[in-house]
Structure 1
Amino acid sequence: MNYTTQMDAARKGMMTKEMKQAAASDALSPQELMAEIAAGRAVIPANKNHKNLIPKAIGKGLTTKINVNLGISEDCSNFDNEIDKVKTAVTMKADAIMDLSCYGKTQEFRQLIVETSGAMLGTVPIYDAIGYFDKNLTDITAAEFLRIVEVHARDGVDFMTIHAGINRETARRFKKSGRLTNIVSRGGSLLFAWMEQTGNENPFYEHYDKILDIFEKYDVTISLGDACRPGCINDATDAAQIEELIVLGELTKRAWDRNVQVMIEGPGHMALNEITANMLLMKKLCHGAPLYVLGPITTDIAPGYDHITSAIGGALAAASGADFLCYVTPAEHLCLPDMDDMKEGIIAARIAAHSGDIAKGIRGATDIDYKMSTARKNLDWEGMFELALDPVKPRRYRKSSQPEHEDSCTMCGKLCAVRTMNSVLSGKKVELKEDDCHAN
């Protein structure tokens, strides 16, 4: 029996090698994973042309995955720097790489990522269209927009952001909304401008069935982009965002009718008290499809620290049902992130993802926390470092400030609570010199 996509195989009761591999590294059995894929509640982005892919599953009952954005631009077009980022991101356990390149030899760069990385690869084809065709935006035809999608699919891209939800009716709603920051999605703003200036319907919406033809052929997962995501907390959960979300729910069912796997992209900037309701609403309106969220960023006043605002929102989003977090770096809103920015963003996103997994009761999520607590109880410093999300930084701190006694640290010394309790409970006498107590 043949199959076209992972969803098609799951619906036919066929266990693919990708399902087996993804399940082996996650919380569900292969049979449980297959059932979730068949229902559309989980996906395995796995383009048939991405030969060295290490498959990962995203969705219900699975650990929350994280994505790293990178790519070349007109101002920062160094291939080597970005490929180094790819390799480092994979080493730091990022689950996916999203190539947002928009300038220069984008296809060559994209193909290089596919060849060198086993991580899932995502792209936003509309970013590439202007450079690929060397045309002004309004001179690009609907057929050319579709052609660039097929180029990316043929190159081995596993999932693509397609902004099909911002049709002319959604755009009309947006123009009446009085938004503070308008449309902050790069792809969404380009399509809005194209529609306004040509008078035509969004080609990704008008020719959606042709997009599905491509995605079914190569088994690309469609990530339905949120063109109307809020760009500030003032704009969150407004009519434009909800109007687009309703359209995305309709497009989800159309994709499933073709056995094309679907993810739904989510908000942007949003106050903490709105996040849980938004995750529930997105799941409801989009029929339980996996949610892929940027942040949400919980306050607008922290440029330089938006990896923190994003991690706060991401943890709550994951706890409330989000399945895939797009990392945010300290450089968000400011510049292209460098290597150090990327590392900070990855760790922040992994903290948020794991915190969410604990809260929503993902099978086995707290196992590593139990091991860390045991290592702390035993004052096993090397064990703590090995279990840490980032072993490098805690080792550096420990080395930079050596205590007098190896079983303590320079903050507490002999007053270490763990050291004291271990001694007392093992029947040893606790002896503290007077000068050890002066600080208190």
Structure 2
Amino acid sequence: MSTQTEPKLVTQIDFARAGQITPQMKEVAEREHRDPEYIRERVADGRIAIPANIVHIKKGMRAFGVGEGLSTKVNVNLGISGDKADAAEEWKKVKIAEDFGADAIMDLSNSGKTRQFRQQLIDETPLMVGTVPMYDAIGYMEKPLVKLTKDDLFEVVRAHAEDGVDFMTIHCGINKSVTKTFKETGRLMNIVSRGGSLLFGWMEVTGNENPFYEYFDELLEICHEYDVTISLGDSCRPGCLY
């Protein structure tokens, strides 16, 4: 008799690979006019993602599929900034996005204590919610950039996951090798990403590798625990046509 326990199924891809169709897969299938098995197969293969944090599911979010054979999804960017710290104004944008049929809200808040706005957003909107934890790190930890540690950055990621964020942009693509290359090649626009530039500055001052790259497996463990979908953030995309 085997003493091994079956692995706990947590994420949509866990269930899909176990041959199980979740309520979220059924909902996506109905919305997309597809057979549920079509959705399950492609979730299992990694060709369709259903960004649906287990915390947000419990709050009544609607399930949306992103990927092969599905309709294009509309994402709306908003958030609190140092230039415009007006949560009420951002809430108007949320309601407009919902009224006009958006599928996702990206909370790009980057100034001050943003957790209350993020938590209220997840409590009240049925749309997918995404964030960029690197934007929030300085305000959340109440430290200057150069004083942040690897553990601080991962604490912010975990906080966003615990709050119910469905997908996060994580800038794991920039590392010491990449920065060495763009320094040596005379790139016209080195970094055209806010999150990437913050990480680059942190790497330059501390001398450390990008922790999201170096400890990627640890990042995956947090995301698996809450079923957070990762949007791999770039840092050196083309900034413009030249």
Q: TM-score interval w.r.t. the shorter chain?
A: over 0.9
1:93 maps to 2:81: no
Q: Is the 8 A contact 1:125 1:161 kept in 2?
A: yes
Contact 1:65–1:95 under 8 Å retained in 2: yes
Instruction: Show CA shifts across 1:359-403 (max 9, x none).
Output: xxxxxxxxxxxxxxxxxxxxxxxxxxxxxxxxxxxxxxxxxxxxx
Confirm whether residue 186 of structure 1 aligns to residue 194 of structure 2: yes
Hey, what's the Cα distance between the residues in 2 that align with 1:90 and 1:75?
A: 25
Deviation at 1:171, TM superposition (A): 1.3
Query: Structure 1 unaligned runs (5+)?
Result: 235-440
- Aligned 8 A contact 1:98 1:123 in 2: yes
What corresponds to 1:200 in structure 2? Answer: 208
Match of 2:112 among 83, 88, 104: 104
Corresponding residue SS for 2:74: strand
CA apart distance, 1:197:
1.2
**Equivalent residue, structure 2, for 1:140:** 148
Which residue does 2:240 correspond to in 1? 232
Aligned to 2:165, which of 145, 148, 157?
157
How far apart, CA to CA, are the structure 1 residues paired with 2:113 and 2:146?
22
TM-score by length of structure 1 reads 0.52
Return 5+ residue gaps in structure 2 as ranges.
Answer: 1-5
Once residues 187 and 138 of structure 1 are traced to their aligned partners in structure 2, the CA distance between those partners, rounded to angstroms, is 14
Structure 1, residues 340-377: CA drift from partner, whole Å, max 9, x if none?
xxxxxxxxxxxxxxxxxxxxxxxxxxxxxxxxxxxxxx
Conservation of the 8 A alpha-carbon contact between 1:96 and 1:120: yes
Q: Which residue pairs with 1:22 in the alignment? A: 28
The 10-residue stretch of structure 1 (171-180 or 107-116) with the greater mean CA deviation from structure 2: 171-180
Runs of 4+ off more than 4 Å = none
Query: Which residue of the other structure, out of 136, 154, 165, is the alignment partner of 1:128?
Result: 136
Q: 2:223 aligns with which of 200, 203, 215?
A: 215
Distance 1:229 1:21 in 2: 35
CA drift of 1:27 comes to 4.1
1:40, distance to aligned residue in structure 2 (A): 0.4
Cα distance in 1, alignment partners of residues 117 and 174 from structure 2: 29
CA distance in 2, matches of 1:41, 1:228: 25
Match of 1:60 in 2: 68
Q: 2:48 aligns with which of 42, 48, 51?
A: 42
Aligned residues: 234
Match for residue 126 of structure 2 among 101, 104, 118: 118
Q: Report the residue type matching 1:143 in the other structure.
A: D
Deviation at 1:136, TM superposition (A): 1.2
Query: What is the one-letter code of the residue matched to 2:237?
Result: R
Deviation digits for residues 286-338 of structure 1 (CA, Å, limit 9, x no counterpart): xxxxxxxxxxxxxxxxxxxxxxxxxxxxxxxxxxxxxxxxxxxxxxxxxxxxx
Q: Is the 8 A contact 1:27 1:63 kept in 2?
A: no
Distance 1:175 1:67 in 2: 33
The equivalent of 2:3 in structure 1 is none
TM-superposed CA distance for 1:225, in Å, is 0.7
Q: Does 1:174 align with 2:182?
A: yes
CA displacement, residues 194-230 of structure 1 (integer Å, 9 cap, x when unaligned): 1111110001011111111100000000111111111
Taking only aligned residues, the RMSD between alpha carbons, in angstroms, comes to 1.1
Query: Which letter maps to 1:13?
Result: G
Q: Which amino acid aligns with 1:60?
A: E
Shift of 1:104: 2.1
CA offset digits 1:60-99 (Å, max 9, x no partner): 0001111110000011111111011111101111110000
Per the TM alignment, residue 165 of structure 1 is displaced from its structure 2 partner at its CA by: 1.1
| Contact map agreement 1:153 1:214 (CA 8 A) in 2 | yes
Further displaced range: 145-154 or 207-216: 207-216
Helix, strand or coil for the counterpart of 2:139? helix
